[in-house]
Amino acid sequence: MKKKINIAIDGPAAAGKSTISRRVAQRMAYIYIDTGAMYRAVTLHAIRNGRGVIDQLDDLDIRFGTDGTSIYLNGEDVSADIRTQEVTNNVSEISSLAEVRRYLVSMQQKIAEDKGVVMDGRDIGTTVLPEAELKVYMKASPEIRAKRRLKEEKERGTDIDLATLTDQIIRRDDLDMNREISPLIKAHDAVLLDTSHMSIPEVEEKIIRMAEDLLRED
Ligand code: DC
């Protein structure tokens, strides 16, 4: 059988993780898992139904569509609803809760059991897949990340300015890096990629080359 590896991609908000991870997964015919979308789905569920639902997560059905982009919450396609400002502004707080992390981390580990997964998030290399064969930590300056996010938000039709987005990114970095459980931190064995001045194809190529080197070993 063809050898497969798992690829863990971590980094702060808007560092380019999902765009790159999706492209790498497509090139390698691997499954792409956006763990941020899972935390966003739980946050949407809590906004709609009240914080009490966090105690009954086992009843929650979160699935990805076959296109690797859509996400379903109890059978409903919530791919657009999880990207609203309300969800973005609450997701760091909800994702700092122990019961939420326990539930989603175990789901993520199950998905990656058979390898052939590119998973992006904040704690993939450190907590979810500490044995992943390839770990990448992507970073870029807050200003550059805010500019990238502004382009995405404009395409989505959101009325937001650069200053608000920069503040939001800095606040989310602070919450994600300083929370008690599984804070955002580079795994000691992760390759650091500063994408501030790299194009998407450049980053993609670099990761593909590292993956191919690992697949050629033994
Ligand atoms: O990648 P994103 O911006 O969609 O992630 C949304 C939030 O979810 C992020 O601010 C922190 C949280 N998150 C997390 O705590 N652990 C992960 N593995 C992925 C995301």
Residues 177-211: tens digit of each pLDDT:
999 999 999 999 999 999 999 999 999 999 999 99
Ligand 1 binding pocket includes 92 (Cβ within 6 Å): yes
Ligand 1 binding pocket includes 82 (Cβ within 6 Å): no
Ligand 1 binding pocket includes 10 (Cβ within 6 Å): no
Mean of pLDDT values over 6-27: 95
Q: What is the pTM of this model?
A: 0.94
Cα separations (Å) of 26 from 20, 111, 132? 10, 17, 18
- The region of weakest confidence among 1-5, 7-11, 34-38, 133-137 is 1-5
Beta-carbon contacts of residue 28 (< 8 Å; ≥ 6 apart): 116, 118, 208, 211
157: pLDDT confidence band, cut at 50, 70 and 90? confident
- The region of weakest confidence among 97-111, 145-159, 197-211 is 145-159
Instruction: Give the number of the atom of ligand 1 that is nearest the alpha carbon of residue 35.
Output: 19
Task: Note the pLDDT of residue 69.
Answer: 83
Percent of the chain past pLDDT 70, that is, above it, reads 100
Task: Note the pLDDT of residue 52.
Answer: 83
**pLDDT exceeds cutoff 80 at 147:** yes
Number of Cα atoms under 13 Å in the Cβ half of residue 218:
2
Ligand 1 binding pocket includes 12 (Cβ within 6 Å): no
Q: How far is the CA of 87 from the centre of ligand 1 (A)?
A: 11
Task: Note the pLDDT of residue 41.
Answer: 97
Instruction: Give the number of the atom of ligand 1 that is nearest the alpha carbon of residue 17.
Output: 1
Percent of the chain past pLDDT 90, that is, above it, reads 83
Task: Note the pLDDT of residue 218.
Answer: 62
Q: How far is the CA of 2 from the centre of ligand 1 (A)?
A: 32
Q: How far is the CA of 94 from the centre of ligand 1 (A)?
A: 10
**pLDDT exceeds cutoff 80 at 23:** yes
Residues 30-78: tens digit of each pLDDT:
999 999 999 999 999 999 999 888 888 988 999 999 877 899 999 999 9
Ligand 1 binding pocket includes 204 (Cβ within 6 Å): no
Q: How far is the CA of 92 from the centre of ligand 1 (A)?
A: 7
Q: How far is the CA of 122 from the centre of ligand 1 (A)?
A: 6
Ligand 1 binding pocket includes 78 (Cβ within 6 Å): no
CB–CB of 159/150 below 8 Å? Answer: no
Mean of pLDDT values over 81-101: 93
Nearest CA to ligand 1 atom 2: 36
Mean of pLDDT values over 143-153: 92
Q: How far is the CA of 4 from the centre of ligand 1 (A)?
A: 26
**pLDDT exceeds cutoff 70 at 94:** yes
